[in-house]
Amino acid sequence: MELNKTKYRIKTLWIDDEPTGGFIDQASINGIDITIAVTVEEGLKLLDNKSNFFEAIILDANCKIADEEEEEDLSALSHAIAGIYARSIDIPWFVYTAGGYEGFEMIEKIVPQQYRNWDTKAYYTKPGTNNTITGQSIDELFSAIKKAVEQSERTKTFRRYKAEIDTFNEPEFIELLISQNKKDFATDDTVPNSIRKIADTLCYILRNKSFIGVEPDKSNTLGDVSKYLAADNANKYVPKHIQGAFHFLSQYYCNPGSHGFDPEKPLPICRFIRNNRAPYANITGLNCLLDIINWVGTLNLEDENFIKDVQTDFSFWKTNKPRK
């Protein structure tokens, strides 16, 4: 994946109590779009918001923690770093600072270099700091951000699966997408159950929006929804490949794969996965889930007229009963 100024725009959070328009303009020229937070707590709230998508974070060393009226302090940097790690946020972050009265040596002690595999520099200095050539560190910072984002698995995942994440942006789904690149993904026997939980959530969404004529609290979720969707072969709203995806997840992958190593249960797919005798089962299950999420994203579930059409077209919508 090659990043450039025209095609890719890097979404970056800048936490700084004194942001400058010049920096924002220079970032924009370099393909970096800046969102500003003037306190650390404001920035952490933006990171907590699932609807936000950031690929890099810039931290001011002498910032303010929670109140715009408080004095800048180097403890804000420690607070920001601790907040990022406490949330398990694997977004590359960079310190951009003029130093402050504690000096740069203290900043180097605060920044945990052993956990930062995306960059070797503890900080970048603002123009004019300690005779730094104006603009030099800014260019270095922008280059470091681009390099880190280019190598980030999270960024690659967000861009590759943008449509699916826009439809379903829950953390467990994003982590599942990222995990497919790990060496042990093919033999991870917990994946079927992870996919089942996500598929169940999608089924709840479809039922609560009245796309499926089943009471939300009286069903086996994935199993029943799969059965109901397949009950009308001519239905124009459920393509054959989607019916097949639900059927595979329900009958052959998720449900049997959630029973662990119980010898009394049929189709012990989790045992085959763990022993690497089904090396493509997990990626097949994930691809079925992706097809379903992509399909759900095309449905006008908020449109009452669309839902009425669906209910009219589904010949079984009013007659099927949930599993007892």
pLDDT one-digit tens code per residue, 198-241: 999 999 898 888 888 765 555 678 888 888 887 766 567 889 99
Helix (H) / strand (E) element for 265: namely none
pLDDT at 135: 44
40 in helix, strand or coil? helix
Backbone angles phi, psi at 213, to 5 degrees: -85, 55
pLDDT tier for residue 134 given thresholds of 50, 70 and 90: very low
pLDDT tier for residue 25 given thresholds of 50, 70 and 90: very high
pLDDT at 32: 96
pLDDT over 90 at 127, yes or no? no
pLDDT over 60 at 298, yes or no? yes
Give me the mean pLDDT over the 120-125 stretch. Answer: 89
Give me the mean pLDDT over the 77-106 stretch. Answer: 86
What is the spatial distance between Cα 246 and Cα 4, in angstroms, rounded to a whole number? Answer: 39
Backbone angles phi, psi at 97, to 5 degrees: -150, 160
255 in helix, strand or coil? helix
Residues in Cβ contact with 161 at an 8 Å cutoff, skipping those fewer than 6 apart: 177, 290
pLDDT at 224: 84
What is the spatial distance between Cα 167 and Cα 177, in angstroms, rounded to a whole number? Answer: 14
Position with higher pLDDT, 179 vs 68:
179
CB 253 within 8 A of CB 285: yes
pLDDT over 60 at 114, yes or no? yes
Q: pTM to 2 decimals?
A: 0.73
Q: Could you give the angle at the alpha carbon of 279 between the alpha carbons of 276 and 285, nearest 5°?
A: 125
CB 146 within 8 A of CB 8: no
Highest mean pLDDT among 27-41, 85-99, 116-130: 27-41
Residue 223 C-alpha from the chain's centroid: 27
And the tokens for 217? 């609290």
pLDDT over 80 at 102, yes or no? no
Residue carrying structure tokens 């598929």: 199
Residue 114 DSSP symbol: G
Highest mean pLDDT among 3-12, 19-28, 49-58, 305-314: 19-28
Residue carrying structure tokens 């439809």: 167
And the tokens for 301? 């579930």
133 in helix, strand or coil? coil
pLDDT one-digit tens code per residue, 242-291: 999 999 999 899 877 766 556 665 567 888 898 899 999 999 999 999 99
Helix (H) / strand (E) element for 240: namely helix 240-247
What is the spatial distance between Cα 318 and Cα 5, in angstroms, rounded to a whole number? Answer: 54
pLDDT at 321: 47
pLDDT at 248: 94
pLDDT, mean over the chain: 84
Residues in Cβ contact with 197 at an 8 Å cutoff, skipping those fewer than 6 apart: 172
Q: Could you give the angle at the alpha carbon of 111 between the alpha carbons of 137 and 35, nearest 5°?
A: 60
What is the spatial distance between Cα 253 and Cα 193, in angstroms, rounded to a whole number? Answer: 9
pLDDT one-digit tens code per residue, 145-202: 999 999 888 888 988 999 999 999 888 999 899 999 999 999 999 999 999 999 999 9
